[in-house]
Protein backbone atom coordinates (compact mmCIF):
# COMPACT_ATOMS: atom_id res chain seq x y z
CA UNK A 1 0.00 0.00 0.00
CA UNK A 2 1.06 3.58 -0.65
CA UNK A 3 -0.41 6.73 0.80
CA UNK A 4 -0.97 9.93 -1.18
CA UNK A 5 1.55 11.61 1.11
CA UNK A 6 4.24 9.29 -0.33
CA UNK A 7 3.54 10.22 -3.98
CA UNK A 8 6.63 11.02 -6.06
CA UNK A 9 7.12 11.46 -9.82
CA UNK A 10 6.92 8.08 -11.57
CA UNK A 11 5.08 6.25 -8.75
CA UNK A 12 2.39 3.88 -10.07
CA UNK A 13 -0.78 3.05 -8.13
CA UNK A 14 -4.17 1.39 -8.59
CA UNK A 15 -7.42 3.30 -8.10
CA UNK A 16 -10.93 2.20 -9.12
CA UNK A 17 -9.54 -0.78 -11.06
CA UNK A 18 -7.26 1.42 -13.20
CA UNK A 19 -3.48 1.89 -13.10
CA UNK A 20 -2.08 5.42 -12.85
CA UNK A 21 1.40 6.97 -12.86
CA UNK A 22 2.17 10.22 -11.03
CA UNK A 23 3.46 12.91 -13.40
CA UNK A 24 3.59 15.84 -10.94
CA UNK A 25 2.81 16.24 -7.26
CA UNK A 26 2.85 19.05 -4.73
CA UNK A 27 2.35 18.86 -0.97
CA UNK A 28 0.25 21.87 0.07
CA UNK A 29 -0.16 23.13 3.63
CA UNK A 30 -2.58 26.07 3.55
CA UNK A 31 -2.73 28.54 6.43
CA UNK A 32 -6.15 27.31 7.42
CA UNK A 33 -7.46 23.80 7.00
CA UNK A 34 -5.71 20.50 6.56
CA UNK A 35 -2.84 19.66 4.21
CA UNK A 36 -3.46 18.01 0.84
CA UNK A 37 -1.50 16.62 -2.10
CA UNK A 38 -2.16 18.27 -5.48
CA UNK A 39 -1.42 15.61 -8.10
CA UNK A 40 -1.34 15.26 -11.87
CA UNK A 41 -1.43 11.61 -12.92
CA UNK A 42 -1.74 9.61 -16.15
CA UNK A 43 -3.76 6.49 -16.87
CA UNK A 44 -1.06 4.11 -18.12
CA UNK A 45 -3.41 2.21 -20.45
CA UNK A 46 -5.36 5.05 -22.07
CA UNK A 47 -2.82 7.87 -21.66
CA UNK A 48 -5.42 10.27 -20.23
CA UNK A 49 -4.09 12.87 -17.76
CA UNK A 50 -6.08 13.97 -14.71
CA UNK A 51 -5.42 16.58 -12.01
CA UNK A 52 -6.81 15.92 -8.55
CA UNK A 53 -6.16 16.71 -4.90
CA UNK A 54 -5.84 13.90 -2.35
CA UNK A 55 -5.88 13.77 1.42
CA UNK A 56 -2.30 12.70 2.38
CA UNK A 57 -3.65 9.78 4.40
CA UNK A 58 -5.58 8.22 1.47
CA UNK A 59 -4.16 4.78 0.70
CA UNK A 60 -3.84 3.00 -2.66
CA UNK A 61 -2.53 -0.33 -3.84
CA UNK A 62 0.95 0.05 -5.38
CA UNK A 63 0.97 -1.12 -9.02
CA UNK A 64 4.05 -3.03 -10.15
CA UNK A 65 4.76 -2.43 -13.84
CA UNK A 66 6.95 -4.88 -15.71
CA UNK A 67 9.56 -3.52 -18.14
CA UNK A 68 11.18 -5.95 -20.57
CA UNK A 69 13.92 -5.14 -23.08
CA UNK A 70 12.77 -5.94 -26.61
CA UNK A 71 14.34 -5.25 -29.98
CA UNK A 72 12.19 -3.82 -32.76
CA UNK A 73 12.61 -6.08 -35.81
CA UNK A 74 10.26 -5.03 -38.61
CA UNK A 75 6.73 -3.94 -39.52
CA UNK A 76 4.35 -6.15 -41.44
CA UNK A 77 1.31 -4.10 -42.47
CA UNK A 78 -0.49 -3.16 -39.25
CA UNK A 79 1.75 -5.24 -36.96
CA UNK A 80 5.12 -4.30 -35.52
CA UNK A 81 7.30 -7.24 -34.51
CA UNK A 82 9.56 -7.18 -31.44
CA UNK A 83 11.94 -9.80 -30.06
CA UNK A 84 12.52 -10.39 -26.35
CA UNK A 85 16.28 -9.99 -25.82
CA UNK A 86 16.37 -12.71 -23.14
CA UNK A 87 14.11 -15.45 -24.54
CA UNK A 88 14.36 -14.57 -28.27
CA UNK A 89 10.56 -14.87 -28.48
CA UNK A 90 9.00 -12.70 -31.20
CA UNK A 91 5.85 -10.75 -30.34
CA UNK A 92 3.71 -8.60 -32.68
CA UNK A 93 2.10 -5.36 -31.45
CA UNK A 94 -0.43 -3.05 -33.07
CA UNK A 95 0.09 0.67 -33.65
CA UNK A 96 -2.44 1.39 -30.88
CA UNK A 97 -0.16 -0.28 -28.31
CA UNK A 98 2.94 1.56 -29.55
CA UNK A 99 1.33 5.01 -29.53
CA UNK A 100 3.54 8.06 -30.13
CA UNK A 101 6.74 6.03 -29.74
CA UNK A 102 6.07 4.65 -33.23
CA UNK A 103 7.28 7.95 -34.75
CA UNK A 104 10.84 7.29 -33.56
CA UNK A 105 11.16 3.51 -34.01
CA UNK A 106 13.96 2.23 -36.19
CA UNK A 107 14.81 -1.40 -36.94
CA UNK A 108 17.12 -3.07 -34.39
CA UNK A 109 16.31 -0.43 -31.75
CA UNK A 110 16.08 -1.78 -28.18
CA UNK A 111 12.98 -0.51 -26.32
CA UNK A 112 11.35 -1.18 -22.97
CA UNK A 113 7.98 -2.90 -23.35
CA UNK A 114 5.62 -1.98 -20.50
CA UNK A 115 3.10 -4.46 -19.15
CA UNK A 116 0.83 -4.80 -16.15
CA UNK A 117 -0.30 -8.26 -15.04
CA UNK A 118 0.79 -9.70 -18.40
CA UNK A 119 -1.08 -7.14 -20.52
CA UNK A 120 1.17 -4.95 -22.69
CA UNK A 121 0.01 -1.33 -22.81
CA UNK A 122 2.95 0.59 -24.28
CA UNK A 123 6.63 0.91 -25.06
CA UNK A 124 9.39 3.29 -24.04
CA UNK A 125 11.93 3.95 -26.80
CA UNK A 126 15.40 5.17 -25.77
CA UNK A 127 15.22 8.74 -24.43
CA UNK A 128 17.50 10.06 -27.19
CA UNK A 129 17.64 8.65 -30.73
CA UNK A 130 19.86 9.59 -33.66
CA UNK A 131 17.96 9.85 -36.94
CA UNK A 132 18.70 11.13 -40.43
CA UNK A 133 16.77 13.98 -42.03
CA UNK A 134 15.26 12.79 -45.32
CA UNK A 135 13.41 15.96 -46.30
CA UNK A 136 14.02 19.54 -45.24
CA UNK A 137 13.60 22.99 -46.78
CA UNK A 138 16.85 24.89 -47.21
CA UNK A 139 17.46 27.73 -44.76
CA UNK A 140 16.79 31.17 -46.29
CA UNK A 141 19.63 33.66 -45.92
CA UNK A 142 18.57 36.66 -43.88
CA UNK A 143 15.79 34.73 -42.14
CA UNK A 144 17.61 34.79 -38.82
CA UNK A 145 15.01 35.95 -36.35
CA UNK A 146 15.54 34.62 -32.86
CA UNK A 147 14.85 30.91 -32.53
CA UNK A 148 13.91 30.55 -36.21
CA UNK A 149 13.01 26.95 -37.04
CA UNK A 150 11.75 24.90 -39.96
CA UNK A 151 10.09 21.51 -40.36
CA UNK A 152 12.23 18.46 -41.11
CA UNK A 153 11.05 14.94 -41.97
CA UNK A 154 13.07 12.15 -40.34
CA UNK A 155 13.84 8.69 -41.74
CA UNK A 156 11.03 7.26 -39.59
CA UNK A 157 8.47 9.70 -41.03
CA UNK A 158 8.28 11.91 -37.94
CA UNK A 159 8.28 15.68 -38.46
CA UNK A 160 10.29 17.82 -36.02
CA UNK A 161 11.20 21.50 -35.80
CA UNK A 162 14.92 22.12 -36.41
CA UNK A 163 17.13 25.25 -36.58
CA UNK A 164 17.74 26.84 -40.00
CA UNK A 165 21.35 25.58 -40.27
CA UNK A 166 20.27 21.90 -40.29
CA UNK A 167 20.08 20.41 -43.81
CA UNK A 168 18.76 17.33 -45.56
CA UNK A 169 21.07 14.35 -44.99
CA UNK A 170 22.22 15.55 -41.55
CA UNK A 171 21.92 13.22 -38.57
CA UNK A 172 20.28 14.74 -35.51
CA UNK A 173 19.55 13.68 -31.94
CA UNK A 174 15.87 13.84 -30.90
CA UNK A 175 14.32 13.60 -27.42
CA UNK A 176 11.59 10.93 -27.77
CA UNK A 177 9.70 12.15 -24.69
CA UNK A 178 9.00 15.58 -26.20
CA UNK A 179 9.76 15.05 -29.90
CA UNK A 180 12.17 18.00 -29.85
CA UNK A 181 15.44 18.50 -31.73
CA UNK A 182 18.45 18.32 -29.38
CA UNK A 183 21.59 18.62 -31.53
CA UNK A 184 23.28 17.74 -34.78
CA UNK A 185 25.58 14.68 -34.65
- Report d(CA 134, CA 37) in Å as an integer: 47
- Spatial CB neighbours of 32, under 8 Å, sequence gap ≥ 6: none
- Spatial CB neighbours of 68, under 8 Å, sequence gap ≥ 6: 84, 86, 112, 113, 115
- For the segment 14-39, what is each residue's pLDDT rounded down to a tens digit? 999 888 988 889 999 988 889 999 99
* Residue of 10, 17, 19, 22 whose CA lies nearest to 54: 22
pTM above 0.85, yes or no: no
Query: Is the confidence at residue 90, as pLDDT, over 80?
Result: yes
- For the segment 117-137, what is each residue's pLDDT rounded down to a tens digit? 888 878 888 989 999 999 988
Instruction: Report the mean per-residue pLDDT for the chain.
Output: 88
Amino acid sequence: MISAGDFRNGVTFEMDGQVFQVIEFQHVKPGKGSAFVRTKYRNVKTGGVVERSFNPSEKFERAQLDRADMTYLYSDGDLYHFMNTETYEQVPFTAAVLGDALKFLKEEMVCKVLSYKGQVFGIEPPIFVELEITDCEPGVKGDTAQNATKNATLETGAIVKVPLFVNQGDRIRVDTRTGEYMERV
